[in-house]
Amino acid sequence: MIKVLDSFVADKIAAGEVIERPVSAVKELVENSIDAGAASIIVEIRNGGKSYIRVTDDGCGISFDEAETAFLRHATSKISSIADLDNIVSLGFRGEALASISAVSRLTMVTRRAEDMSGVKLVLHGGRVVSKDRTGCNTGTTVIVEDLFYNTPARRKFMKTDAREASSIIELIQQYAVCYAGIRFMMINNGMTLFTTNGDGDPYNVVRMLYPNIARNGLIPVENGHIKGYVADPGSTMNTRKGQLFFVNGRLVSSALIEKGLEEGYQGRIFSGFPAAVLFIEAEPCDIDVNIHPGKQEIRFLKQDEVKKEISDAVSYAVMTDAGIPKGFVKNIEKAPEKQLNVDVQQKDETEQTSIRDFLKNLDRHEPYVPSESVEMPATAEEKEEIYTPVSMPAQAEIQPAQKPAPFEFSDLVFKGYVFNTYIIMQDSDELYIFDQHAAHERIFYEKFMRGYNNSAHSPQPVLTAFTISVSNDVYSMSGEWLGDLIRMGYDIEDFGDCTFIVRGIPPYMTVDEAEGFARGYAEAAGEAGGSNKVVIDKLIMKSCKSAVKAHDVLSEQEINDLMSELADCDNPYSCPHGRPTFIRISSYDIERSFRRK
Ligand code: ADP
Ligand code: MG
């Protein structure tokens, strides 16, 4: 029998679509406050928003008569006809949010318009109005949502831990605070005020305050046509995309197209990770489709290529002028014959079960390693990475005991030189080796951290001057998941309040800079990964070693010797944790051949 659903059932079903988690409720309420023209918005949550959410604004308020109407499905003051859909300038327009939230919670709204003498207090339980009274209150609107999903147990099960739900909400408010820098945002979590922005209209101030990790090296302003904002220099990348905030017409969006445009703007200069960027993009409302997802996070551009090019041009313009590296150079090496190289080496790798030693021997038989007119040596770190990524060195575990190769004799190597502040040249009887200092460092750090973690090393070396590390609120709120790991790996680090941590001791094999980079990278990555089993820790350490290794750190000969002996001590000295080689070999034969001597 087909029945028309009772409207309360229908509301509950529909609510599930819009309101999936506490953060979705907060998002809708904050957007309503922004649409209401608020100059100040207070967001308060308890237990990750599960038991309590309060959003208070000083916006236009709602009249006594219309208070209930706002909770009807498809009740909205923002559009009235189909034609309006093509010109949406407000954040909300479906008239669904209040209906959906109230259907799955105990909701109280207190609101007053400036022109009214008294306000109204409306209470709804599971979407039914329980009471409606006149009340004295400030201009603006407060919505309190208690016991979210109390009547939808299935939905409740999908909520994450309080800390995780809180982290998502805090992150969301940080993002809105950047986008709407003219609005004062206050964020309160479990009775503690986490931050208050000053609403002075300058997004950079908000970024500096709320995202110290994004802005730590300063950001380069971008201003070009419809694109405004800030981007990081190519060297200051983050481990995750959390430093990338994209706003289209005041709406926080995720968009693979914008990510791509941003990345292309750097023209291959990103060594690893993701550049931080805060981009405000203006588009004609009729050129975008925001209606493809109930949460509205995804956005589709109708003129994709144009938008991508505009973004990448804007970013290039900012990054290239500032960094002062001639474009021609970057363009030239972009055309390096990586395809050919990939295919060659990969085929070799797939068709033969090569030992590591043979693998190294074989590498040098390949054309690309022989300087000639048509083929250039890889010139930069990022170029190297692109070329080598697909080549995976056989992992230790995959090598059959019977075929176990003789270990490479590091002791036979003689130091010959150091070029581009990156590559160490070594030689044995008839072969030349080029070591990548950064890849080697990453390997060494990775193995030491893994050992430290597995054995609970706890042997920090005190630093002369204690230093602090600042993280954003969302990362801070997750510190329970990463602080202990760092201590276990040999840090003396302690919560210093106010989103900072004080470091008094570091792992003995690192410099202060390296230790700081690693800890920062680890915190960021752990905040995102969630949970901490062995596999996750391994990945986190692998990722964070990159943050520890600084490009173009010049080594002394003594440091080079130390590096070589530490590398020799590694279980797998042949590749960095990501699979790129730590060193390559060129035989005297090949050198002679390229001079046409053979
Ligand atoms: P939508 O935002 O899509 O219009 P909502 O269900 O979120 O739908 O809100 C319904 C209506 O309630 C809005 O159109 C607006 O008129 C009113 N409203 C909601 N929140 C506020 C607020 N904080 N201040 C003033 N009016 C509000
Ligand atoms: Mg709304």
- Find all residues with CB under 8 Å of 394, minimum gap 6, and list them: 354, 355, 356, 359
What tokens does 399 get? 């090598």
494: three-class secondary structure by DSSP: strand
pLDDT at 10 over 70: no
Specify the residue for token string 């982290």: 167
Tokens standing for residue 371: 């300087």
Give the pLDDT band of residue 426 (cuts 50, 70, 90): very high
Q: For position 193, what pLDDT does the model report? A: 95
Cα separation, 452 vs 409, whole angstroms: 26
Torsion of CA 555, 559, 564, 568, to 10 degrees: -130
Distance, in Å, from the CA atom of 63 to the CA atom of 112, rounded to the nearest integer, reads 7
- How far is the centre of ligand 1, averaged over its atoms, from the C-alpha of 238 (Å)? 37
- Please work out whether the CB of residue 98 comes within 6 Å of at least one atom of ligand 1: yes
Q: Which residue has the higher pLDDT, 170 or 549?
A: 170
CA distance to 29, 95, 104, per residue, from 155 (Å):
19, 22, 10
Nearest C-alpha neighbor of 357 from the set 431, 414, 425: 431
Ligand 1 mutation pick, 18, 32, 43, 100, max ligand atoms within 8 A of CB: 32
Question: Is the pLDDT confidence value at 334 over 60?
Answer: no
What does the radius of gyration of the chain's CA atoms come to, in whole angstroms?
29
Rounded Cα distance between 564 and 573, Å, is: 10
29 alpha carbon to ligand 2 midpoint, in Å?
Answer: 7
- Closest residue to atom 7 of ligand 1, CA basis: 97
The better pLDDT of the pair 529, 259 is held by 259
The reply to whether ligand 1 has any atom less than 6 angstroms from the CB of 76 is yes
> What is the rounded end-to-end Cα distance, in angstroms, of the chain?
88
Q: What is the CA angle 130-135-141, rounded to 5?
A: 85
Please tell me the distance from the alpha carbon of residue 267 to that of residue 248, in angstroms, as a whole number: 23
78: nearest Cα among 25, 11, 123, 32: 32
DSSP helix/strand/coil, 594: helix
Cα of 195 to ligand 2 centre, how many Å? Answer: 24
Pick the residue with more confidence: 321 or 377?
321
- Cα 77 to ligand 1 centre (Å): 7
Residue with the two structure tokens 């570091």: 506
Q: Is 167 in the pocket of ligand 1 (CB under 6 A)?
A: no
pLDDT band at 271 (very low <50, low <70, confident <90, very high): low
Task: Tell me what the mean pLDDT of segment 209-225 comes to.
Answer: 83
Res 200: pLDDT: 94
Reported as half-sphere exposure (CB side, CA atoms, 13 A), residue 232 has a value of: 27
pLDDT of residue 398: 35
- Where is pLDDT greater, at 323 or 582? 582
Q: Sorting pLDDT into bands at 50, 70 and 90, what band is 237? A: confident
User: Looking at residue 528, what is its pLDDT?
Assistant: 74
Q: What pLDDT is stored for residue 156 in this prediction? A: 84
pLDDT at 224: 85
- The predicted-structure confidence for 126-162, as pLDDT tens digits, reads as follows 999 999 999 999 999 999 999 999 998 888 888 889 9
Across 332-342, average pLDDT: 31
Query: Can you read off the two tokens belonging to residue 9?
Result: 């059932």
Residue with CA closest to ligand 1 atom 13:
76
Q: Where would I find the H helices in 19-161?
A: 22-35, 97-103, 153-157
User: What pLDDT does 588 receive?
Assistant: 83
Question: Is 0.85 surpassed by the pTM of this model?
Answer: no
For helices 203-210 and 162-179, the axis angle rounded to 10 degrees is 160
Q: Kindly report the average pLDDT of the chain as a whole number.
A: 78
Summarised one tens digit per residue, pLDDT across range 472-511 is 998 898 898 899 999 998 999 999 988 999 999 999 888 8
Ligand 1 pocket member 56 (CB < 6 A): no
Q: How far apart are CA 384 and CA 389, in angstroms?
A: 8
Among 76, 80, 120, which residue has the most ligand 1 atoms within 8 Å of its CB, making it the best to mutate? 76
Of residues 110 and 373, which shows the higher confidence score?
110
Tens digits of residue pLDDT in 75-90: 677 666 555 555 555 6
* Residue percentage of the chain with pLDDT more than 70: 74
Instruction: Indicate if the alpha-carbon torsion angle 251, 19, 113, 203 is positive or negative.
Output: negative
The CA-based diameter of the chain, rounded to the nearest angstrom, is: 98
Residue nearest to atom 2 of ligand 1 (CA): 92
Confidence category of residue 453, pLDDT binned at 50, 70, 90: confident
Query: Average of pLDDT values for 531-559?
Result: 76
Q: How far is the CA of 252 from the centre of ligand 2 (A)?
A: 15
- Cβ(11) to ligand 1 under 6 A? no
DSSP structural state of residue 286: G
**What average pLDDT does the segment 520-548 reach?**
77
Indicate the range of 275-289, 449-463, 520-534 predicted with least confidence. Answer: 520-534
3-state class of 302 per DSSP?
coil
